[in-house]
Structure 1
Amino acid sequence: MADIEKTVSILFQGKDTLSGSIKSMEGKLNSFADNAQKVTQPLADIATSILEVNAAMNALLAGGIVLATKKAGEFGDSFAEISTLIDATSQDINKFKGDILDYSNDSVKSLDDINAAVYTAISAGTDYAESLDLTRQAEKLAIASKADLEPTTRLLATTMNAYGVGVDKIQKFSDIFFQTVESGLTTLPELAEHLSMVTGIAANAGVPIETLSAAMATITSKGAPTSQAVTRIKSAIDAIVAPSIMAAKEAKNLRIQFDAEALASKGLEGVLNDVMEATDGNSARLKKLFGTTKAVTGVLDLAGDGGVVFQGILNDMKDATGATDTAYGKMADGFGLANQKLVNNINSTIIKIGDKIIDKYGAVVGALTEAISVIGEGVDSSTFEPIW
């Protein structure tokens, strides 16, 4: 076993106990003293920074420093993308960076997932100061519905934009989407991908999110893919809002009101009920009103059974308040999610340490690399044989 005292003497005190061997690398050892100084001064600076975080971290080894710096660098790069979307002072941006880390400590989603969700929320027009509020509710909905965080955030943000409401209404939209997934055969990622094709026209036509979501759940529950359900609903609403000449004539013959006014006053379910009663569900007459097979198929999906399923799900939508929180409460304490929270707390602490030392890290790495290289060459040339 190597004698530590002798080793230290050789490396840092320059004692001439190995003069015969050292002569072969005299130039390298002369430079090593300078390398040692390069290492010790930055390390002394780092020690001061580490003390500000936690006195126990004074013993942080080189590997820990590398890990902390790596994590801090990765988080910094990810946050830099978010910061490009924010018009604020550097002080406010730095505070927001810290807010994200603090949020992660209570989250059961990874930091990468959180950053992606925050980026999406802000990209969709959410004020950065409210983006974590949106992300927090999106996380509950994602956990409750077993979905990923980013598409869930995107679904909430884009739909609320279409309906012109702010983050203060997010609980309502979250509960409605949870009920949509529960009642229909669709998923949050599928809704995130396709629903925006119809939310704009639905909102402008005065179709509430509860009604739109109930229609989605009804049609998908009967086997239609999410994308087709969106197309059918959109086609039906289009036909009502802007009826063709043939549709207007047919509506007059049937003695029903078939236009945007009827949709606003009676609701989608009311208009469809009038249509089904007047036509007896006859496909040919429905085609004259709605114009396309897609629209007619959607109408029959929603009202062909007398609207029983559609109305039942619509009632569920109205009673969905608190559904997200209830389901989230049942899921959040699972092993995998609890473990992710622990990982987040560890990573958050490591990143905060890394942020303290990252500016000095370059100098340390350079000096350590040179010093270790010299030692390695000495070992290869048997310089240290006398102390083994």
Structure 2
Amino acid sequence: MGIRNREGSLYMATGIDNSGLYEGKREAMGIIKTLASDITSFDIFGGIGISAATAFAQAAKSSYEFEKEFRKNMLEVATISTQVTDDMTGFMNQVMSITQEIPIKAPEAAKALYSIVSAGHDGADGMKILEVSAKAAVGGLTETETAADAITTILNAYKMSAEEAGTVSDQLFTTVRLGKTTFGELGASIAQVAPIAAAYGISIDQVLGAVASLTKQGTPTAQAMTQIRAAIQGTAGELGDAAFQGRTFQEALQLIYEKAGGSASKMKEMLGTDEGLAATLALTGKNAKSAASDLEELQSSLGATEAAFEKMKDEVGNQMTLLSNNIQAALRPMGEMILKEVSGIAKSFNEAFESGDLERSLTTLKSLLEVSAAAWGHTRFLLLRQWLQRIYVTSPLWLTCKV
């Protein structure tokens, strides 16, 4: 038993026939070698001081890390989605297609899809909401998951379909434009108001119009939501369950204002809370005209998301993200194959440790070394070889492995 040098290469002698390994890995290594050939044929790397071999190693490592994170996030979606479970490849391809048109990263999109599916929108509906949320995120300078959370909260509260996600997004964007708030702030606090507003028959455009009016007067978004909620409850308590039938939320508050003769103390007595009073004062009296204008703009907000997205899409950072996404999509076959091979080998070793049959699994190390060398470059390859040599010391198996 020992290590032999042949033609300048390292071997570990073994009596086991490893020829079958080469046949089994032909497809995987064929893809990697083809991509390596393509990449190393480019002359551009030399011009920026990067060798073609280094460029390929970096590309392989990047594609592997990307695929590992992307697949992990999609597997999390599969835990709550039978449709994704049944067609993982199809849904991963759909997400990738979205990222080639919209500058968000696929792992981020997968996280947003998890939030969407957990809100009850699976399959094609979920993908529709994801696309809208991604555009909303780019246009609104927020995370896709944050946009998705705001949109699905409103859809669910108002029992709206996925087809109406674009309309909801347009209204959220218009609120941001009119008020002093952000998409992220709306997403974090809209749940305070949407369910109770829907229960009383107050449309979401009326709620968001009030948010725009309050925040432009300096009220923080979360506080504005608290005030609107209190005003809904106080007005319903004063005018009855039909308080908002045949009139908008703003009109109902104006009625409270008129019944109180404009007296703040009387309005507080009628509404019951300081929060409800604050909302009423901000939307009635001298502020009534501005509040009506905000509501009118919310009701004609069609296309706001697309307009914001088109403006932000051309920003240099977003264009670079799109470029990165397109390159990553082209390299995915390599990342998929490397991930598949590394995962399979790791599983084989784990099973060997459990069964005590480590010698059988050592026959796969030739493949592991080849794939690792392609994916991570010579440095990590040497570290892996050192690990192999430590195993060699304690194992009776002789493994032939050319470095």
Normalised-by-shorter TM-score class? 0.7 to 0.9
> 1:145, 1:178 within 8 Å by CA — same for their partners in 2?
yes
Among 239, 247, 250, the residue aligned to 1:266: 247
Q: Which is greater in Rg?
A: 1
**Aligned: 1:303 with 2:284:** yes
Distance 1:39 1:57 in 2: 26
Distance (Å, rounded) in 2 between the aligned partners of 1:104 and 1:346: 11
State the match for 1:111 in structure 2.
Answer: 106
C-alpha distance in 2, partners of 1:126/1:332?
27
* Contact persistence 1:287–1:296 (CA under 8 A): yes
Q: Shift in Å at residue 135 of structure 1?
A: 1.6
Greater RCO, CA 8 A, separation 6+ = 1
Residue aligning to 1:31? 13
- Corresponding residue for 1:156? 151
Aligned pairs for 1:5-154 within 5 A: 10-11=7-8, 29=11, 31=13, 44-49=26-31, 56=38, 64-88=59-83, 90-154=85-149
How far has the Cα of 1:365 moved from its partner?
2.4
Distance in 2 between residues matched to 1:187 and 1:63, nearest whole Å: 38
Task: Give the whole-Å Cα distance in 1 for the aligned partners of 2:117 and 2:221.
Answer: 26
Distance 2:59 2:310 in 1: 36
Task: For 1:341 and 1:89, locate their aligned partners in 2 and report how far apart those are by CA, in whole Å.
Answer: 25
More helix by share: 1
Match of 1:167 in 2: 162
Partners of 1:90 and 1:181 in 2: CA distance: 37
CA distance in 2, matches of 1:352, 1:29: 31
SS of structure 1 residue aligned to 2:314:
coil
Q: Give the alignment of 1:141-290 within 5 angstroms.
A: 141-241=136-236, 243=237, 247=238, 258-290=239-271
Shift in Å at residue 192 of structure 1? 1.0
Does the aligned pair in 1 maintain the 2:153–2:190 contact within 8 Å? Answer: no
For each residue in 1:117-138, what CA deviation from the matched residue of structure 2 results, as whole angstroms up to 9, or x when unmatched?
A: 1111111111232222112111
Aligned to 2:335: 354
**What amino acid does structure 1 have at the position aligned with 2:129?**
L
Contact kept? 1:183, 1:217, Cα under 8 Å: yes
Once residues 74 and 282 of structure 1 are traced to their aligned partners in structure 2, the CA distance between those partners, rounded to angstroms, is 60
Q: Evaluate the alpha carbon distance shift between residue 266 and residue 66 of structure 1 in structure 2; reply closer, same or farther with a 3 A threshold.
A: closer
Following the alignment from structure 2 to structure 1, what is the Cα–Cα distance between the partners of residues 35 and 129?
30
Q: Which of 312, 328, 339 lines up with 2:293 in the alignment?
A: 312
For 1:109 and 1:371, locate their aligned partners in 2 and report how far apart those are by CA, in whole Å: 35
- When residues 211 and 35 of structure 1 are mapped into structure 2, their CA distance, relative to the original with a 3 A threshold, is farther
Deviation at 1:199, TM superposition (A): 0.5
SS of 2:245's partner is helix
Contact 2:235/2:253 (8 A) holds in 1: no
Aligned to 2:352: none
From 311, 317, 322, the equivalent of 1:336 is 317
Q: Is the 8 A contact 1:140 1:325 kept in 2?
A: yes
The Cα shift of 1:89 comes to: 7.3
Cα displacement (A) at 1:52: 9.5
1:159 match: secondary structure = helix
**Distance (Å, rounded) in 1 between the aligned partners of 2:224 and 2:383:** 67
Within 2, Cα distance between the matches of 1:90 and 1:274? 54
1:51 is displaced (CA, Å) by 8.2
Tell me if 1:365 matches 2:368. Answer: yes
Q: Percent identity?
A: 22
RMSD, aligned α-carbons: 3.2
Aligned residues of 1:47 and 1:58 also touching (Cα < 8 A): no
Report the equivalent of 2:48: none
Asked if the contact 2:60–2:335 (Cα under 8 Å) also holds between the matched residues in 1, the reply is: yes
Deviations for 1:193-220, whole angstroms, at most 9, x for unmatched residues?
Answer: 1110110010110111110000011011
Distance between the aligned counterparts of 2:140 and 2:12, measured in 1?
65
Q: Is the 8 A contact 1:190 1:226 kept in 2?
A: yes
Q: Which amino acid aligns with 1:181?
A: V
* C-alpha distance after superposition, 1:101-154 (max 9, x if no partner): 222222201123211211111111112322221121112222222222211111
Contact 2:125 2:162 in 1 (8 A): yes
TM-score, with length taken from structure 1: 0.78
What is the CA distance between 1:39 and its match in structure 2?
7.8
Q: How many residue pairs are counted as aligned between the two chains?
A: 340
- Given that residues 71 and 350 in structure 1 are in contact (C-alpha distance below 8 angstroms), is that contact kept between their aligned partners in structure 2? no
Please list the CA deviations of residues 247-283 of structure 1 after superposition, one character each: whole Å capped at 9, or x if unmatched. 4xxxxxxxxxx12213122221222222222222102
Query: Structure 1 residues 202 and 43 mapped into 2: Cα distance closer, same or farther (>3 Å)?
Result: same
Give the letter for the 1:191 counterpart: L
- Change in Cα spacing, 1:51 to 1:366, as seen in structure 2 (3 Å) is closer
Alpha-carbon contact 1:194-1:227 (below 8 Å) kept? yes
- 1:371 is displaced (CA, Å) by 11
- State TM-score, norm by structure 2: 0.75
Q: What SS class does the counterpart of residue 83 from structure 2 fall into?
A: coil
CA deviation after TM superposition for structure 1 residue 372, in Å: 7.7
Checking the alignment, whether the CA contact within 8 Å between 1:104 and 1:344 is kept in structure 2 is: yes
